[in-house]
Amino acid sequence: MTGLRRFAVVWAGQLVSVIGSALSTFVLGVWVYLETGSVTKFALIQFCAILPGILLAPWAGVLADRVDRRVIMLVADGGAGLVTSLLFTAVSLDSLATWQIYLAAALTATLNSFHVIAYSALVPALVPKDQLGRVNGLMQLTQGVQIAAPLVAGALLGLVGLRGVLLIDVVSMVFAVGSLLLARLPEEAVRPAGAAGRDRGVGAGLRWLRSAPGLLALCAVFGVWNFLFAVAGGLVQPLILSFATPATLGVLMAAGGSGLFLGGLAMGAWGGPKRRVHGIYLGLGLGGVFLVLHSLAPSPWLIGFVAPAFLATLPLMNTCCVTLVQTKVDPAVLGRVLAGVRTLSTAAMPVAYLLIGPLSDGIAEPLMTGDGALAGTVGALIGTGPGRGIALVFLVVGVLMLALAAVAWSRPRLRAVDDLPDAASPLERTAS
């Protein structure tokens, strides 16, 4: 079995697993909202699902450079299946509680952090360097599946109920574990060559990034971008519900997921520009434009166009970023560098999730009422009334993203990041 075929087997299993997890995540969120009627308690699931992964990413990187990466992925998939099985049992016994869902979200996020870093570090040892862009593009399809899940999950919830959806998730984990065992990954892929004699500390990844200033600047750009994305992502559903029905929300969420899915397919076929940083600049600029367009009118047709268009920029940016790291970083420290990139680029996202409620309800919405302070100025452009404060946030976030693109373009070290020397991949070392 060739490296590309091994990757395809692993990727297919992981994609099935992501589908199952996305379905259960959505229905559990619906259950919390219906049980409590609280947006804050609903949003707390997102907070619990991201913070542990950020805090534990450095240790996940150390483990990925020391331990068999296949074992890490197997434990992560199996552990996630166990967590879902416990929720399934709680539902069956009619004893499910919100705190159990928060704990499950935190545990699953922890396992996912270890899984993602090990998975991303393993790929360059399976796939030729000239195919990394296409392969990383295909890996972005999982994000499209996660966003499109609500439409399918809503239908399944009516057909098989919460227990049935959780059972589907458990079965999907079995597929993921089976694919990892079936692929028979080679030793050079699961254990980085030369790792034993290197700096093995938690901070090795950050120290390596400091030695490559262009990549460190890239982390800073993605840190700001992820903060802005979290603000917009956390408010897009309230924005839609301010002028549309829940059924329309499900359709528009599926449309957004299709943008991610098609973007991933396009990157899988194309692989990205030769100079990866140009793809990042393009994604930043287009993303800012499409976020601004979200604010212009309370129209499902408008959102149905601009949301998929915005989300289609994510595979472009993420593929270019991950491919840059995988090709420039010594495989012996790749796990820790990927962990450092993940930590730096996502550290501000929990802050965004905590801020969006007070920002929209306490500041933006009052400004955009019929007699609000901005009614006669910005209100003349985007309208006034319920939900237009959220639209104001989208307008500001879009402008800030455009400003981020301009600042990123002005950084010489970032423009030259593609010129950093490539590291020898495990496949090249094996061939030599």
Residue 261 confidence class, pLDDT cut points 50, 70, 90: confident
> How confident is the prediction for the chain on average, in pLDDT?
88
Domain containing 255 — which CATH number? 1.20.1250.20
Considering the domain architecture, whether residues 403 and 265 belong to the same structural domain is answered as yes
Considering the domain architecture, whether residues 285 and 338 belong to the same structural domain is answered as yes
Once rounded to an integer, what is the mean pLDDT over residues 138-146? 76
Residue 197 has pLDDT above 50, yes or no: no
Residue 420 confidence class, pLDDT cut points 50, 70, 90: very high
Residue 150 confidence class, pLDDT cut points 50, 70, 90: low
Confirm if 344 and 219 have CB atoms less than 8 A apart.
yes
Considering the domain architecture, whether residues 217 and 319 belong to the same structural domain is answered as yes
DSSP 8-state code for residue 123: G
Residue 6 confidence class, pLDDT cut points 50, 70, 90: confident
Residue 196 has pLDDT above 60, yes or no: no
Specify the pLDDT at position 356: 85
DSSP letters spanning 10-72: HHHHHHHHHHHHHHHHHHHHHHHHHHH--HHHHHHHHHHHHHHHHHHHHHHHHHHTTS-HHHH
Domain membership of residue 397 as a residue range: 202-421
Is 174 part of any domain? yes
Using alpha carbons only, how large is the chain's radius of gyration in Å?
22
Place of tokens 């998975």: 119
Of 127, 155, 186, which one is at a domain's C-terminal end?
A: 186
Q: pLDDT digits over 394-410, tens only?
A: 999 999 999 999 999 99
Considering the domain architecture, whether residues 148 and 34 belong to the same structural domain is answered as yes
Is 83 part of any domain? yes
Is 192 part of any domain? no
DSSP 8-state code for residue 385: S
Considering the domain architecture, whether residues 174 and 292 belong to the same structural domain is answered as no
Closest CA to 209 of 55, 56, 420, 424: 420
Residue 343 CA: distances (Å) to CA of 50, 67, 143, 337: 11, 20, 19, 10
Of 139, 159, 186, which one is at a domain's C-terminal end?
A: 186
Residue 97 has pLDDT above 90, yes or no: yes
Closest CA to 182 of 310, 1, 304, 340: 1
Residues sharing a CB contact under 8 Å with residue 175, sequence separation 6 or more, in sequence order: 13, 16, 17
DSSP 8-state code for residue 335: H
- Pull the structure tokens for residue 329: 């970083």
Residue 389 CA: distances (Å) to CA of 138, 262, 414: 36, 31, 35
Specify the pLDDT at position 241: 82
Residue 202 has pLDDT above 70, yes or no: no
Domain count, the chain: 2
- Amino acid occupying residue 380: A
Residue 199 has pLDDT above 60, yes or no: no
Is 431 part of any domain? no
To which H or E segment does residue 373 belong?
none
Closest CA to 202 of 57, 305, 411: 57
Is 197 part of any domain? no
Question: 402 or 156: which carries more pLDDT confidence?
Answer: 402
Considering the domain architecture, whether residues 330 and 305 belong to the same structural domain is answered as yes
Considering the domain architecture, whether residues 251 and 157 belong to the same structural domain is answered as no
Specify the pLDDT at position 1: 52
Q: pLDDT digits over 264-314, tens only?
A: 899 999 999 999 999 999 999 999 999 999 999 999 999 999 999 999 999
Residues sharing a CB contact under 8 Å with residue 80, sequence separation 6 or more, in sequence order: 17, 21, 108, 111, 112, 173
Residue 355 has pLDDT above 90, yes or no: no
Considering the domain architecture, whether residues 344 and 396 belong to the same structural domain is answered as yes
DSSP letters spanning 234-299: HHHHHHHHTTS-HHHHHHHHHHHHHHHHHHHHHHHHH---SSHHHHHHHHHHHHHHHHHHHTS---
Considering the domain architecture, whether residues 25 and 121 belong to the same structural domain is answered as yes
Closest CA to 139 of 284, 321, 15: 15
Residue 212 has pLDDT above 90, yes or no: no
Considering the domain architecture, whether residues 222 and 134 belong to the same structural domain is answered as no
Q: pLDDT digits over 100-141, tens only?
A: 999 999 999 899 999 999 999 989 888 888 889 999 988 887
Considering the domain architecture, whether residues 238 and 373 belong to the same structural domain is answered as yes
Is 60 part of any domain? yes
Is 195 part of any domain? no
Considering the domain architecture, whether residues 171 and 214 belong to the same structural domain is answered as no
Of 186, 216, 238, which one is at a domain's C-terminal end?
A: 186
Specify the pLDDT at position 66: 87
Is 429 part of any domain? no
Residue 261 CA: distances (Å) to CA of 109, 143, 205, 239, 348: 22, 7, 31, 22, 26
Specify the pLDDT at position 73: 95
Residue 148 confidence class, pLDDT cut points 50, 70, 90: low
Q: pLDDT digits over 9-59, tens only?
A: 999 998 888 888 888 887 887 788 778 766 567 778 878 888 888 889 999
Q: What is the dihedral angle through the alpha carbons of 307, 35, 390, 223, rounded to the nearest 10 degrees?
A: -70
